[in-house]
Each structure stands twice: as C-alpha cells, then as structure tokens.
Structure 1
Amino acid sequence: MTAVKYALITGASKGIGKEMALSLARSGYNLLLVARSEDELIRLSEYIQQEYPVEAHYFSCDLSIDDAASSVSKWCSTHTTALSVLINNAGYGLWGNFETLTLASQMNMLKLNISAVVELTYLLLPLLHNQQQAYILNVSSTAAYQAVPTLAIYSASKSFILSYSRALRYELKDTTISVSCLCPGPTATGFASRAGMDVLASLAEKFNSAASDVAKTGLDGMFHKKAEIVPGFLNKLSSFGVKHLPKRLIERITAGLYGHK
C-alpha cells in the first residue's frame, strides 16, 4: 500500500513555488498550498486536481502578519498528520538605499523573509518528526553570500535563512528530517518588478533562469539531502568566488550591478 504523502508550500501561487507544486503533484504528493492571492490559488488547485490524482488544498494568507504562521499550522493539521515536505518559499525583496525605503516596508519584508520561516518551521516540526523520512527546503538566494548595497535588508535576510538552515540541518542530523537550502540567482518570477527594480529589468532578463528549472534543481537537491543547492553554473561560480575575494571588492561590484551610485 502506497503511503499518503503531503507537501506544504508557501508562496505557491506563482514562480518557483508554483513549479514545485506541479512537480510534486506529478510525483504523487497531496498539496497544501499557501499564498496571498486566493484567485491564483484556486486556479492552481483546480488545475492540479484535474490533471493529477492528488488532493490540492489552499489557504490564502499573508504570512507577514501576526499569528499567520500559527493559522497555517492549524489549517495544515486539519488536513493531515502525514506532512513529509515543508517548502518555505514565500518572500520578496525591496530595492533602494536603506534610508530612502520606508521602515515599515522593510520590517514587513523581514517578517515574511525570516519570521514566517522560523515560526512555521517550528510549529510544523512535530508533524515532520512523525514521518519515516521528511524534508524541509528553505528558499534563500545567491544574495545570501555577500552584502548587496541597495538590497541591504533583503540580502541580509537571505543570509539569515542560509545560516539558519545549515544550523537546523546539523541539529536534526540524527533524526528523520533533512534540511536543505535553495539559493537561486536571478529567476523569471516577477521578483525584480515587485522589488522596484524595473530600471534594471533588461539586465535581469539576460541572467534570468526559468522558474521550472530552478524548481527541478531545488527538489532534486532536497530529495538527495543536499545542504546547499545553487542552480546554474554561473551562480555556482559566483557563490564560490565571493568566498575568496575581498568583501570590499565584492560590495563594489554588486553595488555597480544593482545601480547604486
């Protein structure tokens, strides 16, 4: 008898999260889809259930608000105790100098990029521990490997996710839960537009990876229990290079790339 498998994905309505949902559905996973846009979640869940013999439940929620993670955890528990995959994909960036962006918008970004990941993981660990094998995939960014002027808070938040994921992985190494961190580079997900980086759109298009490719690489790495997953040769090269070059030089290069004057 085939075991019932459930995966919870945040930021599931578009981009990498959506592609991961489709891939896991093809592999027989029942899905718990979380995102802000209810309309997009409805369309995705209906499509998945029409195309694949799996369940696809959805929960429309802004994970940056207080008690959102608790609400998602309770909702998850009403649908299954067989949660074996948690993908923390929700997040966004803001482009601009720290002092010119509003404090409120930057704090909201931190709540989504960091607090929601930590809270949801903590609350769902008991369910994951019940499985013979479970996986956590936290989505970070290649921005995690260096400070990025004009993306100061975003890159710092992604550095937190990478460090947190590696530490949690070590703490859980003798359990049935494997923790991985996906660090994609520029991806065709609408990130640049939401971050207010339309002025750099042409640059982003030259280096963008397809969300489907990033999703496949991320899931393959997760199921192979890799600690860090960096899709694409150039992204691997850059993440390796920043470890060996002076930080001041890296900051100057990234400042130039992202339009800091």
Structure 2
Amino acid sequence: MGEKNKPYALITGASKGIGKSIAYELARQGCPLLLVARSEQELKALSEDLQLKYGINAAVLPLDLSVNGASQKVADWIKANSCRVGFLVNNAGYGVWGDFSRSALIDQLGMMQLNMNVMVELSHLLVPILSQEKQAYILNICSTAAYQAVPTLAVYSATKAFVLSFTRALRFELAPTSISVTCFSPGPVDTGFASRAGLDALSKMAQKFNMQPDEVAKMAVKAMFNKKSEVIPGFANIISVYANRLLPKAFIEKTAAGIYKV
C-alpha cells in the first residue's frame, strides 16, 4: 500500500463534509491518503473517485472511531501496511443539541469520546510515526464554538474548547520537533452538521451565512502547510470570536441561548 516518494495523510471523518473536502484538496496536491470513517460504501466511492481523478493511492478503513480501542486499530492498520504517515487530520466529530439534562447521556458521552478522546489517542499513537518525517503536520478541526459557552450545545462547545486548549499545548511541546500542529476553527459550514445535530430551524436560518466545505478545506490545508498555530476562517467568524473576548460573558451566553434555544 505504501508509496515511497510521499508520506500519507490520515484523515478521520473522511466520508463527509470538511473531511471529504480536505481529502480532495490533498489528493489534488498529489498526497496519498488513508481514509477513516464509519460508512464503508461512501469511503469506497470516495477512494475510487480520488484515485481516478488524481492518480493517488487512497486506502480506506471503515471503522466507528467512537468504539473503545478503535484508535489502536487505526495505528495497527498503518503499521501492518508499512505506511509512511506525514499528516494527521483529526476531523471526526459531531454535535448534540438540546438541554443537557433532557438529552440522552449516552449521546453526550459518545460525542465526548469522538470529539476529544479519539483526537488525543490518535495524536499520541501517531506522533512517533510522524516524527520520522523531515516535516510532518497535525491538523485539528475545531470550531468557533470553542471560544464561548453555548447553552443547548453545552457539551459540544466544551469538547471544542478542549480541542483548542489541547492543540495549543501540543503545538508548544512539539515545536522543537519536525511536527507542526494547527488548530482550524470554522463557523457554520454547509455540511449538514446542523441537521444531524437536530438544529433544523437553525440549519435553514444559517444557509445565508454558511461557508462551503471546499472553500473551508482549502483554507485549512493552506493553514496547515503554512504552519499556522490557530486559524478562524471568514471575517464574520473572526469578529464574533473577538467579540467574545471583549463583551461580558453573560451577554454572550444569553445571545447564544437565544440563537440556539430549544
């Protein structure tokens, strides 16, 4: 499976949304891919299209990463196939919307497992592999929700705050090495995320403000290659994050609660 001239990019949550668009962007630049997601059918279709269009190798591993031990299976898969890996794109994640006390605990814990634990596990397992490259990259897909508490998305925004904090610290620790670490925090993106989270009303309202996944993916990959520490795409998203720093927390949280109200 290995290609000798270029290292592979491992992308989680690769079958949909931003992860899928990042796969296309890296393939366009000639990067061979390791694609991980739950849907075997969608992954195989993606792999075939990428290989046909760009002539790169795109190996797939259908796997539910939220299941305990899944991250180790990914690492074992890489080692079994003697793959050089120079990129880790931690993209897999989802949101659960609703009042915390009324939302199913199993859904909240599953979200925490995927959004936080899997990212930590894969980063820990792959740093030794990435460090073998002269230049390697970790790209963690975060969210503007990381910068504030969001009522009715309480656990989701908290998981993204974790991603942001972890990425900042990991970047500092790995600075003396060959591994660059980037945190990329988009706002609303037209990926179907809002509908899957149960935010149908917001999904319709946000259509006017959504960025497109291909546009976001290009910005994310560019930020990674430029070794940026922290990037928020879109002027409106940048303004909203800076407003969170300047305005009272109570005002920000009340405003968010009004937007995302049940």
**TM-score normalised to structure 1 length:** 0.97
CA distance in structure 2 between the partners assigned to 1:60 and 1:111 by the alignment: 18
Cα deviation 1:149-198 (Å, max 9, x = unaligned): 00000000000000000000000011000000110000011101110111
SS at match of 2:146: helix
Tell me which stretches of 4 or more aligned residues in structure 1 moved more than 4 Å: none
CA distance in structure 1 between the partners assigned to 2:53 and 2:203 by the alignment: 34
Deviation at 1:54, TM superposition (A): 1.0
**Matched ranges for 1:89-238 at <5 A:** 89-238=91-240
**In the alignment, is residue 257 of structure 1 matched against residue 262 of structure 2?**
no
Deviation at 1:37, TM superposition (A): 0.6
- The answer as to whether partners of 2:13 and 2:37 remain within 8 angstroms in 1 is yes
RMSD: 1.0
SS at match of 1:186: coil
Residue 72 of structure 1 is matched in structure 2 by 74
Task: Report the AA paired with residue 72 of structure 2.
Answer: S
Cα deviation 1:81-139 (Å, max 9, x = unaligned): 42110000000001100001011110001000000000011001111000000000001
Residue 58 of structure 2 is matched in structure 1 by 56
**In the alignment, is residue 41 of structure 1 matched against residue 64 of structure 2?**
no
Unaligned stretches of 5+ residues in structure 2? none
Deviation at 1:80, TM superposition (A): 3.8
Residue 86 of structure 2 is matched in structure 1 by 84
Cα deviation 1:35-72 (Å, max 9, x = unaligned): 01110000000011111121000001111100000001
Task: Report the AA paired with residue 38 of structure 1.
Answer: E
Give percent identity, aligned residues only: 53
CA distance in structure 2 between the partners assigned to 1:36 and 1:9 by the alignment: 12
SS at match of 2:6: coil
Unaligned stretches of 5+ residues in structure 1? none
**In the alignment, is residue 7 of structure 1 matched against residue 47 of structure 2?**
no
CA distance in structure 2 between the partners assigned to 1:55 and 1:142 by the alignment: 33
- The answer as to whether partners of 1:81 and 1:127 remain within 8 angstroms in 2 is no
Cα deviation 1:228-261 (Å, max 9, x = unaligned): 111111001111111111111110111111125x
CA distance in structure 1 between the partners assigned to 2:100 and 2:83 by the alignment: 42
- The answer as to whether partners of 2:7 and 2:83 remain within 8 angstroms in 1 is no
**TM-score normalised to structure 2 length:** 0.97
Total equivalences in the alignment: 259
CA distance in structure 2 between the partners assigned to 1:53 and 1:93 by the alignment: 34
SS at match of 1:174: coil
SS at match of 1:206: coil
SS at match of 2:207: helix
